[in-house]
Chains A and B, each alone.
Chain A
Amino acid sequence: MPTVPARPLRILLAKLGMDTHTVGITVVAHALREAGMEVIFTGLKQTPEAVASAAIQEDVDVVGISSLSAGHTRSLPRLARLLREQGAADKLLVAGGVIPEEDVPLLQEAGYARIFIMGAATAEIVQYLQDWWSARLAAEAARE
């Protein structure tokens, strides 16, 4: 039996720039809520600056970006840098969408822990986040 986490994971889901494709992020949001996570959505057409400050203000544990336009090579690294600069490097960064495999190393280097390329099952995304969250909570408990 998996242990029930003490508090639910809070995740901010966001869309950057002019990319308005929302089916993928909607499906993921529903699956995460179904799994008991707290999901906050920024709305469309956000700047990296706005997403970074929303992540800090909402005190989320994870930031997830959905990208289905070609803007990911610029805006995603910028968001990661902004979060680090604002002392929020402890937040887990993940991304998903239409992201070519050859761009994955670049995003990982920029600070994205995991890239879910189009076609990834929601079960896989939920499992990944649950595992990360259990480990994070265990680490917090050990520190206390």
Chain B
Amino acid sequence: MSRPLDRIPAAEPAAPAPAEEQRRWEREKRAPFVAAHPERREAFVTQALKWPIKPLYTPADLDAAGFDYLRDLGFPGEYPFTRATQPNGHRSDLWTMSQVTGFGKGEDWARRARYMLEQGLQGLILEHDLPTTNGYDSDNPLVEGEVGRAGMALDSLEDLERAFDLPFEKLRYLMSVCNAPQPVNLAMIIAALEKKGVDPRRFVLHIVNGILIEYTCVGRYIYPPVHGLRIATDCIEYIIRNHPNWAPISIISAQLQPAKANPVQEIAFSMAIALAYIDATLERGLDIDTVAPYFHFVINVDMDFFEGICKLRAYRKIWAQLMKERYGARRPEALKIRMMTSPTTIALTLQQPLNNIGRLAIMATACALGGAGESMTTPLHDEAHALPAEEAIRVGAALQHIVAHETGVADTIDPLAGSYYVEALTKQIESAALAEIDKIAQMGGALRAIESGYFQRTLGREQYERNQDIETGRRKWVGVNHLVHPGEKRQIEIFRAANTMEEEQVARLRALRARRDNTAVAAALDAVRAAARSGSNLVPPCLAAVKVYATHGEVCDALRDVFGVHTPDSQLTGV
């Protein structure tokens, strides 16, 4: 409202503006101090993004970023969910505390799983060995020496029948990690549950189904990316239509982070990958409000406390924005990101392993401050050395309780909100990530970015530069390039598996091939090839094939016949 000139009161000496005050402080106080006490580093930068860190953040930084409380943060459980996806944060329910389970094979896995359920755990993770995740049977000459090592060997339905010798009534969820051969793996799980008479509505099968990240950095792929995406979409569609209480897709950002994606790349690549799956699923005639709530994200936090916390806040906001503004989702459930958090293993050192307990506590605190999400997993301090010792498992479990119950960080919602630094950095990460998401969209999306090697080369450069930070000492890492104990003898216990396990597995497989109805198997494999060619959903013919005991490798081979294999060069691996 304008007022007549004559009614404007005579100007009183105005209070100095904060920005002006800050310049005065810089000139009169800080600059002379720094001249007398030089700073301990040439440049202060964040760990992964290497963004300059200012000596002081003030309201001026929020103004510069265009920060607006209601638009940028809002309230917990409401759009844009920056503060929390739940209205009461972690005051009502803490996150589920979990650890990655050890590995085994077939009946060994069942034994371990039963033990864990007896200890009161309600969820299990089924990891498979490298022959399985790369789509080879145990008797393939390529995989000699790898059978049953990094997880359970899976050759046929028989193996899962042995593995599922479990009290399913105690099981809330089972998570299975087997990305490239996902429809085969999913079919085997469904068939094994049927055989055991387990009601699939009584628990949640959580498949990772994360083939696009395998092409980006993990490497356990089989078929060319375009077919990988189709296969993953078949599984998502099948589960949504047939087992709507299951979880058909997780974006494991926690695989991009150890491949040295910085927070902006990590958010942008994982969101772009999620959008590729979403677009493909929408093309199957499902709508965004149905599809979006099925997406889960597993996210690591590294040692830079603030990069980690701000990244988690930005994840929540960006997902909500993308779903609402770009996809027109309306259901609140579609706008809330489902996330699980974890301290990263790549911050842990082989040297002076007890130091890792300190690192884990700091990272777990950052996870909690950033809003831990549905669950938090902690790696263990001796993981770089060998299979975790019992003491490490106990310390790892206690860590989460210490963070949850002793520090108070989970007692109020999003406690760092309003910090000038945290809000400025959150906004900065958010805008850079949105810009990168747009850039990837302009390339044609995640699939094209993978096919052109963009993700892989970006990560390759980042890996080299971050390694140089350590080699040149730009970044100090205790035990590695700082406070090194020169006399320290590296003590690595090596797990050397007995080869009898591999021989047994191969013998079983050969006996099965001799015993089963091979005519039925051949016909079932033809049906898999036909579905692969026609574009119809692959899960039903895979289900029919595994039920007549076609092996995992045979079904993968049938798909190789149609799709071919992915053989990337330097450009497409980033090496």
Contact = CB atoms under 8 A, between A and B. Distances in A.
Contact of B575 (A17, A19, A26, A121): A26
B144 interface: yes
Nearest to B145: A71
Given A13-B575, A43-B573, A70-B149, A27 B134 contact: no
Contact of A17 (B143, B259, B573): B143
B142 A17 contact: yes
Nearest to B349: A119
B492 A121 contact: no
Contacts of B568: 43-44
B571 to A, nearest CB: 9
A101 B218 CA distance: 26
Contacts of B490: 101
Contacts of B150: 69
A18 B134 contact: yes
A74 B144 contact: yes
A47 interface: yes
Nearest to A47: B142
A40 interface: yes
Contacts of A29: 460, 570, 575
Nearest to B346: A23
B177 to A, nearest CB: 14
A45 B217 contact: no
A13 to B, nearest CB: 7
Interface string B465-477: 0011001000000
B467 A27 contact: yes
Interface in A39-85: 39-41, 43-45, 47, 69-71, 74
Q: Is the interface of B mostly helix, strand, loop or mixed?
A: loop
A44 B219 CA distance: 7
A41 B570 CA distance: 6
A127 interface: no
Interface residues of A, number: 32
Interface residues of B, number: 39
Most buried by A among B130, B260, B480: B130
Nearest to A102: B494
A77 to B, nearest CB: 13
A41 B145 contact: no
Nearest to A100: B494
Contacts of A119: 350, 480
Nearest to B460: A26
B575 A25 contact: yes
Nearest to B259: A23
A125 B94 CA distance: 48
Nearest to A66: B575
A71 to B, nearest CB: 5
B51 interface: no
A29 B218 CA distance: 17
Given A17-B145, A18-B146, A70-B145, A26 B574 contact: yes
A96 B471 CA distance: 17
Nearest to A20: B219
A96 B406 CA distance: 44
A136 interface: no
Interface of A: 13, 17-23, 25-27, 29-31, 39-41, 43-45, 47, 69-71, 74, 100-101, 118-119, 121-123
26 contacts: A13-B575, A18-B134, A18-B146, A22-B574, A22-B575, A26-B460, A26-B463, A27-B467, A30-B464, A39-B570, A40-B570, A43-B567, A43-B568, A43-B573, A44-B568, A44-B573, A45-B134, A45-B142, A47-B142, A69-B146, A69-B150, A70-B497, A71-B145, A101-B490, A119-B350, A122-B468
> Considering the complex of A and B, which 6 residue pairs feature the smallest CB-CB distances, nearest first?
A20-B219, A30-B464, A18-B130, A41-B575, A41-B570, A27-B467
